[in-house]
Structure formats: C-alpha cells, structure tokens
Amino acid sequence: MTGTKKLYVKTYGCQMNVYDSERMAEALGADGYEQVDTPEGADMILLNTCHIREKAAEKVYSELGRLKPLREANPDLKIGVAGCVAQAEGEEIMRRQPMVDLVVGPQTYHRLPKMMEALGRGEKALDTDFPEEDKFAHLPKDRRAKRGPTAFLTVQEGCDKFCSFCVVPYTRGAEVSRPVERLLREARDLVERGVREITLLGQNVNAYHGAGPEGGEWGLARLIRTMAAIDGLERIRFTTSHPNDMEDDLIAAHGDCDKLMPYLHLPVQSGSDRILKAMNRKHTAGGYIRLIERIRAARPDLALSGDFIVGFPGETEADFQATLDLVAEVGYASAYSFKYSPRPGTPAAERAQVDPAEADDRLQRLQALITSQQRAAQDAMVGRRVSVLFEKPGRMPGQVVGKSEYLHAVHVQGDADLIGRIAAVDVVESGPNSLAGLLV
Ligand code: SAH
Ligand code: SF4
Ligand code: F3S
C-alpha cells in the first residue's frame, strides 16, 4: 500500500472537457489517486485545456506560471497538460514550460496510467496520437465518482465539418459515435448512482450514428427514445447540434418524448449568407429560420440558444446587420457571442482580418441585443409553473437551487432533501442570474 496520492484537475472549455476530466480522474483513481479541490498539497496537477479561441489557449500558460511556486516548493509534484491545447501544441508546451511532465491529448487519456509509470521513472511523457482503439473501451467501466443528480455523457466525438474558423476537427479528430449498448450501460450506471438528468454530448451530437445492438446504425433520436425508457432517468438533454444534422425524428422527439427537455442549443454563427458561405457552414440564414419554425411547431415552448461569431474575415456592417436581424427574428432564451479569433492552421486565419475596434464594437452591440432578449425571456417566466430538478444548496441559508426544464436556474426556500428530486415550482421573481420560486 503506497497511500493515496492527491490529484487536482482544472477544466477549461466545453462540457466535453468536463466529461473527459471525470474520466481522467477515474483512470488515475485506479492508479491510487484521489481527487482534491485545490492545487495546494496535490501530488499531481492536471490542466484540461481548450484551444477554441486565443484567450482560452493562453490561459494554460498563465496558469502554469501560477503553479511555478508550488512546483518549486515540492519538486515531486507532477504537472500534466491535457485537452485541446495539449493536442494542438503539446511539444511547444513542453519547450515553453519545462516543468510540464506530461502532455496527453483528448483521444489518448486512457493511456494515462502507462504514462504515469514513465513519470515514476523520472521521464517525461507525451502522447497526442489519434489511436485506432476506442479509448472508452480501455477506461474503467465503473463510473465510481460520487455524483450529483446531473451528468454528462459523451456519445459522439470529433467533427468532420471543418467550419473555416474552427480548431475542433484538428484537436478532436474525425467524427466517431460510440456504440448504443455501451451508452445505455453507462446511462444505467449513472442512474443507479443517483443521476436524474443526463446531457448527451458531442461536438456534433445530432450527427450521432452509433452501432445498434443488433447491427445497423442508430441516429440520436432513437438513442434518446431508448434511453428515455430507463427507469429513474427523468430528463435528457443534448448538445451541441449542427443545423444540417437536425433529422426529422429528432425534431419529432422534441414534441413527443416527455423526458427530452424543451431546450435546444443550435448555433448559427452569422445571419449573413455571404459570411456563412465563407465560414463553410453549408446552410443559409433562411434555412436556419425555417428549421427553427419546424422545431417550434413540434415544441412551441422550446427555449432556444445559439452561438455567434462577429468580426469574421470579410464581415461588413451590412453582414453584421443581418446577424442582428436574425437574432431579432428568432428570439433566443440565451445566446453566446464571440469575437472572431484567428486560429493557427484554420483557413480563415489566413484571410484579411476585420479591424479589431470595429469587431469589438459589433460584439458589444450584439451582446446588448442578446442580453435584452435573455432578460425578457427570463422575466416572462414570472407567474409560470415550472418543474425543477434540485441540484445543490443555495447561497442563502435554507435555500436549494436547481434547473427548470428550460435550463433557468431556480431557487426556493426548502429542505436539503429536495436535492436530487424534481418538484413543481411557481416562479415569483426574476433576478439577475436566476429565478426565485415557491414550492407548489
Ligand atoms: N461544435 C459546436 C461548438 C464548437 S465551439 C458547434 O458546431 O456549434 C463553440 C463555439 O465557439 C462555436 O459555436 C463558435 O461560435 C465559437 N468559435 C469557434 N471557433 C471560434 C473562433 N475561431 N473564434 C471565435 N469563436 C469561435
Ligand atoms: Fe467547429 Fe464547425 Fe465542427 Fe462545430 S461544426 S465543431 S464549429 S468545425
Ligand atoms: Fe475547447 Fe476543445 Fe471543447 S477546443 S471547446 S475544449 S472541444
């Protein structure tokens, strides 16, 4: 018995990284590591990084700078970098920060225990392959972590779409769907551990086409409908979707599958067809709007969210106006907007860039519109009855908080034993970031 070693994991980026961090902690758990909440006193620190925009990627270097004193105080401390920055610039990380002992990409972290052996011998380890084998088949089957009532479950990875601004196809590799049976097993396992809501994850989740139990391929809708039959699982969500993969059955499921929540994240990026073409999105603004109409016909109360990029190379004021018009027409419950960030190795990075001050100005104008829509959508919940899955104690004594079916944070005065349960709540107030309600 060597005693437990302490592992600290810091996660950046998307939900897929959150899921990967859990799986990496489990893989290292089998190796005797126990996860802790602070880097101080840890034996191993793992940064799970994001490469999507320049600011996200730079965070890893500033974080490594902050970790330096810890390493100086404890030369035995191991430092690892995982995730999409590791995949994109692993060797550069090791060059720029010699204190990094380990670099592991998103498709090779099942090899972590093996890599730790190398570290034990005083060597460094770098593995950013895209291996033939399925990493999930080599990870601990038992999702041992103690968990709250919600969980992520990666069903699909990678992306073949190659939007001209995006690094994901390079950092995550080609599109792969996990087999149905393994996903159902993992979902049942999560439910046995108290999970009531599962969010199915993929960079292109609605392009899911996994091997079915009796041969053939299943789409996402069929996977959702089958998962919905699991007793004890109350809610299903999925993210992130591409407009071109919104198959008919998935639209129908929003209307007839009770456990599928009425919230959809469906990024469009721009309202200008000229820019969409330059982005290689392969859809038009009009096509997106017609698609939204069809989904809303299936589920009229659907809360919609999206992503937007402003200042994409070649974007004129008229293109930007088209984006504002689209946002005004669609009406989002929430939306995320980003200033275009040129990413190394992507086609758009080579093009003439929009003036940064102009791009900043557009970002502010778009965010103002989105914020007002978001506010209005949240305020409109006052007086309505929602169902809330309670997740944790609130900030005030006697409070518990959870999420409505529309993904609004809702807090009520109530007992801690509500946590993990779904209850009806009448919304009485709309605050800056959450709704206040009364238990029915
Ligand atoms: N797979 C998802 C999400 C990809 S990344 C999808 O296809 O929608 C999440 C968001 O980051 C994107 O939707 C996009 O709005 C934004 N993004 C991606 N690359 C970017 C870049 N180079 N600059 C600014 N924003 C970017
Ligand atoms: Fe990136 Fe486009 Fe793939 Fe989304 S669909 S991950 S934005 S390349
Ligand atoms: Fe970032 Fe990689 Fe996710 S680049 S958004 S962590 S897929």
For the CA of 308, the nearest ligand: 1
Is residue 28 in some structural domain?
A: yes
**Is the distance from CB of 210 to CB of 217 less than 8 angstroms?**
yes
**37 and 145 share one domain:** no
Range of the domain at 249: 141-261
Is residue 329 in some structural domain?
A: no
pLDDT at residue 242, rounded to an integer:
98
Q: What does the CA dihedral 8, 157, 261, 412 come to, rounded to 10 degrees?
A: 10
Q: State if residue 17 touches ligand 3 by the CB under 6 angstroms criterion.
A: yes
Is residue 161 in some structural domain?
A: yes
**203 and 245 share one domain:** yes
Instruction: For residue 82, give the CATH number of its domain.
Output: 3.40.50.12160
**104 and 176 share one domain:** no
pLDDT at residue 212, rounded to an integer:
97
Q: Look at residues 89, 33, 176 and name the one whose alpha carbon lies nearest to residue 21.
A: 33
Instruction: Give the span between the Cα atoms of 384 and 273, in whole angstroms.
Output: 38
Q: State if residue 279 touches ligand 2 by the CB under 6 angstroms criterion.
A: no
pLDDT at residue 1, rounded to an integer:
41
Report the residue among 204, 208, 268, 309 best suited for mutation to probe ligand 2: largest number of ligand atoms under 8 A from its CB.
204
Instruction: Write down the pTM of the prediction.
Output: 0.95
Considering only CA atoms, which residue is closest to atom 1 of ligand 3? 50
Cα(161) to centroid of ligand 2, in Å? 6
Is residue 289 in some structural domain?
A: no
**95 and 163 share one domain:** no
Strand order in the sheet with 263-265: 263-265, 303-310, 334-339
Q: State if residue 162 touches ligand 2 by the CB under 6 angstroms criterion.
A: yes
Instruction: For residue 177, give the CATH number of its domain.
Output: 3.30.750.210
**252 and 211 share one domain:** yes
Q: State if residue 52 touches ligand 3 by the CB under 6 angstroms criterion.
A: yes
Q: State if residue 84 touches ligand 3 by the CB under 6 angstroms criterion.
A: yes
How many domains does one find in the chain?
3
For the chain, 440 residues long, give each residue's pLDDT as a single digit of tens.
456 899 999 999 999 999 999 999 999 998 899 999 999 999 999 999 999 999 988 999 999 999 999 999 999 999 999 999 999 999 999 999 999 999 999 999 999 999 999 999 999 999 999 988 888 888 887 666 667 899 999 999 999 999 999 999 999 999 999 999 999 999 999 999 999 999 999 999 999 999 999 999 999 999 999 999 999 999 999 999 999 999 999 999 999 999 999 999 999 999 999 999 999 999 999 999 999 999 999 999 999 999 999 999 999 999 999 999 999 999 999 999 999 999 999 999 999 999 999 999 999 999 999 999 999 999 999 999 999 999 999 999 999 999 999 999 999 999 999 999 999 999 999 998 899 999 99
Domain boundary among 245, 261, 277: 261
Q: State if residue 170 touches ligand 2 by the CB under 6 angstroms criterion.
A: no
Report the residue among 157, 163, 201 best suited for mutation to probe ligand 2: largest number of ligand atoms under 8 A from its CB.
163
pLDDT at residue 143, rounded to an integer:
67
* Long-range own/partner contacts, residues 121-129 (CB < 8 A, 24 or more apart): 124/94, 124/100, 125/101, 126/90, 126/91, 126/94, 126/102, 127/103, 128/86, 128/87, 128/90, 128/103, 128/104, 129/105
pLDDT at residue 140, rounded to an integer:
81
For the CA of 341, the closest atom of ligand 1 is 23
Instruction: For residue 396, give the CATH number of its domain.
Output: 2.40.50.140
